[in-house]
């Protein structure tokens, strides 16, 4: 486990234990364009390892060129999260992978089934041929190894006083104090894993109602999952709609008290930060950039 992450917080379903062979298979599937409907995209197309496992585009484009309704979120530290997506639509990484492929289970088997290298690995890992369930399990297993820790912040917490600059340390004090960010970006993974309305996009004519679309509960209107802030500086643009292009813009948004709307969280209020304080918060967020192991981020060899 990289420095700063907590193994006891991991979610690994009992029926999908992590094994090296399964993780290696999942990695190939995650990068392989052959599973997609017309062979043009893979998971990495919208979750780019070189861009903090998110998408540099405001919204992503599907294999047929149509835009996705929301911005692609990062995949780092999904190990610590059970429900997935901005609105918590998916119950697990397995569920997400089953439905992420933008295509039917039958087509998936048709596209991957004939590849000898996959058939051999599926036999070894699951004792079956290529199945949609196996594809989803292997991909989820690989995703659980995309871990970002050992950031300057973690080294500071571990006792290395010099790991954070004075500005970053001031930013940390604000993050936990006056700016109240820890109310929601809580704990070692900087998320409470729950849903809040901070007002993003609520000034649109037809706002995305987020968590409400899943629960149909009024108080969930415009609420989205608190994202982890680890590696955040690596993956602009930000928010479920990709509407903010810089961290300075994010801080200015919070400083104003978000966007007023009927369901705005009581924890989002004008903060009264001055220019130096806002800059310090940005420097602190930059100190959350960590390291993902090279064997996880390097492209795999594809089976034939």
Which positions touch ligand HEC (CB under 6 A)? 41, 43, 45-47, 60, 62, 68, 70, 72-75, 78, 84-87, 93, 96-97, 100-101, 139, 179-181, 183-185, 196, 198, 200, 224, 226-227, 229, 232, 238-240, 247, 250-251, 254, 265, 267-268, 281
Minimum gap (Å) between residue 76 Cβ and ligand HEC: 9
Q: Which of 102, 83, 104 is nearest to 94 (CA)?
A: 83
Contact 292, 146 (CB under 8 A): yes
* Cβ distance to ligand HEC smaller for residue 100 or 167: 100
Q: Rounded to an integer, what distance in angstroms lies between the CA atom of residue 148 and that of residue 43?
A: 18
Q: Which of 5, 11, 3, 17 is nearest to 228 (CA)?
A: 5
* Cβ distance to ligand HEC smaller for residue 159 or 248: 248
Minimum gap (Å) between residue 211 Cβ and ligand HEC: 9
* Cβ distance to ligand HEC smaller for residue 117 or 236: 236
In the chain the beta strands, taken as DSSP E runs, fall at: 195-196, 224-225
Which residues contact residue 93 at a Cβ distance below 8 angstroms, ignoring those fewer than 6 apart? 78, 84, 139, 140, 143, 144
In 131-177 the beta strands, taken as DSSP E runs, fall at: none
* Cβ distance to ligand HEC smaller for residue 4 or 43: 43
* Cβ distance to ligand HEC smaller for residue 162 or 211: 211
């Amino acid at each position: 486990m990289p420095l700063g992450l907590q193994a006891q917080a991991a979610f690994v379903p009992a029926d999908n234990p992590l094994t090296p062979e399964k993780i290696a298979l999942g990695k190939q599937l995650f990068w392989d364009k052959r599973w997609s409907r017309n062979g043009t995209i893979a998971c990495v197309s919208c979750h780019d390892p070189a861009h903090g496992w998110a998408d540099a585009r405001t919204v992503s484009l599907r294999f047929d060129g149509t835009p996705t309704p929301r911005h692609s979120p990062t995949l780092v530290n999904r190990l610590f999260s059970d429900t997935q997506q901005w609105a918590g639509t998916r119950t697990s990484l397995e569920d997400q992978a089953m439905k992420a492929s933008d295509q039917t289970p039958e087509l998936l088997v048709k596209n991957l089934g004939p590849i000898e290298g996959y058939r051999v690995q599926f036999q070894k890992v699951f004792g079956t041929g290529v199945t949609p369930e196996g594809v989803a399990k292997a991909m989820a297993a690989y995703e659980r190894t995309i871990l970002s820790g050992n950031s300057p912040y973690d080294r500071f917490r571990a006792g290395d006083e010099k790991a954070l600059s004075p500005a970053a340390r001031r930013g940390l004090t604000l993050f936990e104090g006056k700016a109240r960010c820890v109310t929601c970006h809580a704990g070692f993974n900087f998320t409470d894993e729950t849903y809040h309305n901070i007002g993003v996009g609520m000034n649109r004519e037809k706002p995305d109602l987020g968590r409400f679309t899943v629960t149909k509960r009024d108080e969930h209107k415009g609420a989205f999952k608190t994202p982890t802030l680890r590696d955040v500086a690596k993956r602009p643009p930000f928010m479920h709609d990709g509407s903010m292009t810089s961290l300075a813009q994010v801080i200015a948004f919070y400083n104003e008290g978000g966007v007023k709307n009927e369901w705005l969280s009581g924890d989002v209020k004008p903060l009264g930060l001055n220019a130096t304080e806002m800059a310090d918060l940005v420097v602190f967020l930059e100190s959350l950039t960590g390291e993902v192991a090279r064997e996880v981020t390097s492209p795999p060899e594809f089976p034939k």
